Amino acid sequence: MITGIVTAGREAIIRLKVRGPNGRWRQFDAVVDTGFDGWLCLPSPMIAQLGLPWCRRGRAQLADGSECVFDIFEGTALWHRRAQRITVDEADTMPLVGMALLHGSRLEMEIRAGGKVILKRL
């Protein structure tokens, strides 16, 4: 089970661990973003700290209808107590957990400041 909290700004935050090829885990808070269909989105400095290897370029349509091109990297996330290979999209945003990583999980949230966020493996 993965737990987190809903902030006063109504963001569901969970603690996530990611590992790059150097074998060191880095732990950080990430927003659960059900509107993001990828695995994980990280800003450039975090990707560089982890030493994630570049995989390919990606293209996405944003909520405002514009299109962007971004780099995609490879990493490993600790998810439901298991190391899982994931792709990491690079974007100038706070870390975002997307629906690809959430797939196979049950998400429960108390939508209020300080509310619980619970992810259980199906």
pLDDT digits (tens, 9 = 90+) for 6-54: 999 999 999 999 999 989 899 999 999 999 999 999 999 999 999 999 9
Number of domains forming the structure of the chain: 1
Task: Report the C-alpha dihedral over residues 10, 37, 58, 20, rounded to 10 degrees.
Answer: 80
Burial (CB < 10 A; 0-12, 13-18, 19+), residue 26, is: middle
CA 100 vs CA 6, 18, 33: distances in Å: 21, 15, 11
Which CATH number do you get for residue 83?
A: 2.40.70.10
Q: Indicate the pairing of strand 67-79 with strand 105-109.
A: unpaired
> 46: how many CB neighbours lie within 10 A of its CB?
17
104-122: pLDDT as tens digits:
999 999 999 999 999 999 9
91 lies in which domain range?
2-121
